[in-house]
Amino acid sequence: MKLGMVGLPNVGKSTLFNALTNAGAESANYPFCTIEPNVGIVSVPDKRLDALAEMYHPVKFTPATLEFVDIAGLVKGASKGEGLGNKFLANIREVDAIVHVVRCFEDDNIIHVDGSIDPARDIETIDLELIFSDIELIDRRIDRTKKAMKGDKSLGAVVEFLERLKAHLEEGRSARSFEMTEDELDLLKETPLLSLKPVIYAANLCEDDFRNNIDTNANYKKVCEIAAAEKSAVLPICAQIEAEISDMDAEDKAMFLSDLGLETSGLDRIIKEGYALLGLISFLTAGEPEVRAWTITKGTKAPQAAGKIHSDFERGFIRAEVVSFDDLMQYGSMSAVREKGLARQEGKEYVMQDGDIVLFKFNV
């Protein structure tokens, strides 16, 4: 999974990006690395995986990973190629979901590019750049489809759909808020729109508001309204707190968070939202050689999940032995779970569940 962080200048994007990627670096089990200054790979924290590591003391410990890209510099005029605008838009095209950092904190010392704190205006500014770029793409697609229509009249319905979508975009509304059928959504696979990407709004609050007044903060409420109207996710966050805890050890961090009435850090919450938004789950494989988490989409069947590990596993799939994490923890070992008759033998049609511990049987 690849998450791109966008937002206007001075909203706390870099503070958050550095805190999240640094937080990954600090925990021994969950390494993090920087590929480029603005790209970090973070391991996905998973308590189940930690427990399996304690049980197996594996030679190798491989958590799922995700990539954060800090897409700084997306400003008004980006879609017109202003500054490095087009480069940033190209970066966004490559991500699975967007984390849009929105400034909800007041601080007279930190200027706002547009002079005041106004989340609705800020969200619109960024959205419009994505929408303008999408209109260009749709225009080109309409031209192409119209030409092809000369030989294939059935394309008339496609043009009609594209024109309806274009009209929606031209009202300044993102493709996310356009009602589409599954078939129409399929049509857009060859025209990947930026304003159709799933969005998590990270509402960056000041420490005091984050601790005491999340629900009464008018800026945060506004972000929630916007998110609800387009079925996006929203997450209250305090970039400064994240920065503070990013280099604490696990114990101090847990204490600090519980003081705030939180169970998990911002990194955990963003990852959780990202998984939910993209319909992702994990299955686990465990043994002495390696304890590992694998990311799949909800609804994936056993053979395709096996194919994540190796294409031979999918081709030669016979069955999957599946154990639930809770059963394994309760009875302490695979053999004990088998003795209790709780290890299930699942076939080709089995739909994988989050947290399944799996051993695939296959022919080579």
- Asked if 233 contacts 10 with a C-beta cutoff of 8 angstroms, the reply is no
Q: Is 65 annotated as a binding residue?
A: no
What is the H or E stretch that residue 99 is in?
A: strand 97-103
Stretch that binds ligand GDP, among 105-113, 136-144, 271-279, 336-344 (CB under 6 A): 105-113
Checking 73-81 for CB contacts under 8 A at 24+ apart, the result is: 73/9, 74/6, 74/7, 74/8, 74/126, 74/129, 75/8, 75/9, 75/113, 75/129, 76/125, 76/129, 77/129, 78/129, 79/128, 79/129, 79/130, 79/132, 79/133, 79/136, 80/132
Shortest Cβ 106–ligand GDP spacing (Å): 8
Q: Is 12 annotated as a binding residue?
A: yes
Stretch that binds ligand GDP, among 4-12, 50-58, 266-274, 303-311 (CB under 6 A): 4-12
Q: Which of residues 195-234 bind ligand GDP (CB under 6 A)?
A: 204, 206
Asked if 107 touches ligand GDP (CB under 6 A), the answer is: yes
* Separation between Cα atoms, residue 345 and residue 321, nearest integer Å: 5
Asked if 113 touches ligand GDP (CB under 6 A), the answer is: no
Stretch that binds ligand GDP, among 60-68, 104-112, 146-154, 283-291 (CB under 6 A): 104-112
Shortest Cβ 111–ligand GDP spacing (Å): 9
Residues 6+ apart with CB under 8 A from 178: 165, 168, 169
- Asked if 74 contacts 50 with a C-beta cutoff of 8 angstroms, the reply is no
Asked if 238 touches ligand GDP (CB under 6 A), the answer is: yes
Shortest Cβ 102–ligand GDP spacing (Å): 10
Residue type, 337: V
Q: Which of residues 245-284 bind ligand GDP (CB under 6 A)?
A: none
Asked if 240 touches ligand GDP (CB under 6 A), the answer is: yes
Fill in the per-residue mask, 23 to 62: x = in contact with ligand GDP (CB under 6 A), - = not in contact.
----------------------------------------
Stretch that binds ligand GDP, among 85-93, 138-146, 235-243, 300-308 (CB under 6 A): 235-243
Q: Is 86 annotated as a binding residue?
A: no
- Asked if 218 contacts 234 with a C-beta cutoff of 8 angstroms, the reply is no
Question: What b/e string do you get for 146-182 counting C-beta neighbours within 10 Å, with b at 16 or more?
Answer: eeeeeeeeebeebbebbeebbebbeeebbbbbbeeee
Q: Is 14 annotated as a binding residue?
A: yes
The structure tokens 């080579």 sit at: 364
Find the binder of ligand GDP among 2, 15, 117, 159 (CB under 6 A).
15
Asked if 13 touches ligand GDP (CB under 6 A), the answer is: yes
Nearer of residues 38 and 133 to ligand GDP, judged by Cβ: 38
Q: Is 4 annotated as a binding residue?
A: no
Residues making contact with ligand GDP (CB under 6 A): 7, 9-15, 72, 105, 107, 110, 204, 206, 238-240
